[in-house]
Amino acid sequence: MKKWLAIAYLFTVSLSGNESANHEEIKMGKMNQSPKYIYKILSLRNWQATQNSKAIQLSAEDDAFVHFSTEDQLEKIIGKYWADAPQVVILKIDSNKLEGELAFERNAGGTTKYYHLYNGFIPFNSIVESRIVYQQPIDTCDRQTLDIVQVGDPVLRQIAKDLSVEEILSPEIQNLIETMKVTMRAAPGVGLAAPQIGKALQLVVIEDVDHSHLTEQQLAERNRYPVPFHVIINPRLYIEESDDKVEFFEGCLSVPEFVGIVPRAKSVRVECLDERAEPVVIQAKGWYARILQHEIDHLNGTLYIDKAQLPTLITAENYVKLLKDKSVKQIQAALHDLGG
């Protein structure tokens, strides 16, 4: 891997005999011939979801079986499949504590063999160690994150003030932008407005590149596509009155633990300045348009719960358990039935 990759250890799990006794011995295949440790790569988003739900949150690619790597394969796998991710989480797994059928085999059409787990799962007591790999320069990685303001703080209800060109180009705002980027990625989120870190300024950072937790069908349904990191300052949002609304669940880093259905315009036009104080016009559709509307609402003292359909508010944990894998039409039908 690149020499400037920084690794931060989150925790080391100490395994006890009582924990391992709760799991039946794996009898499948040639487990005794597998290496003592194998590795699982997760997005930071999925790892954060794991902390909240107390169950290992896997990506859509792990549907038929769970993909693993050996230590020697990690660099190649990250470079091939995770190159665009700002950071990834690597779990070191005790292969003898996995539940299921572990096979060493080639991917379809490939020549290299990998470990795949069938009909099983990753018990928490199999995780020996976890670490985050930041795929960005050290000076950015070392930057501390900011506290995210929570609902009830008055700053979230203020109208943020515009920034002058001189202010945008100042070291203070340039440093703030970099720190907001790190904070957004660490949360993790797809957008962060300055009021969310206690600054009533017309400033937003956005990035939506990690879609590993979604299937191709879900991406298509939500018209969600990669959006690289960028900054919007003093934005002006334009929505055609005739533009149809699209309803879907939203969450917010400032309103933790809950999500709710919010109607948003399918497409928007935003005029703003970038981090160099240069004028930019953004034409956005689909999920990107939703992100822009959500974040610009923050600059005007509005939260998504102000626009959400209140009967649809649900805990994030229950959303993952009950609705995450359903299509938009299925969710709407289910909510319609509940409403009579």
Please tell me the distance from the alpha carbon of residue 115 to that of residue 127, in angstroms, as a whole number. Answer: 16
The radius of gyration of the chain's CA atoms, rounded to the nearest angstrom, is 22
The residue with tokens 């790597």 is: 69
Omega cis (within 30) before 188? yes
The residue with tokens 């160099």 is: 276
The H or E element containing residue 133 is strand 127-134
Catalytic site includes residue 221:
no
* DSSP letter assigned to residue 220: H
- For residue 253, report the phi and psi dihedrals to the nearest 5 degrees: -65, -20
Count of CA atoms in the C-beta half-sphere (13 A) of 204? 26
User: Which one is catalytic: 75, 240, 271, 295?
Assistant: 295
Residue type, 103: A
Catalytic (active-site) positions: 295
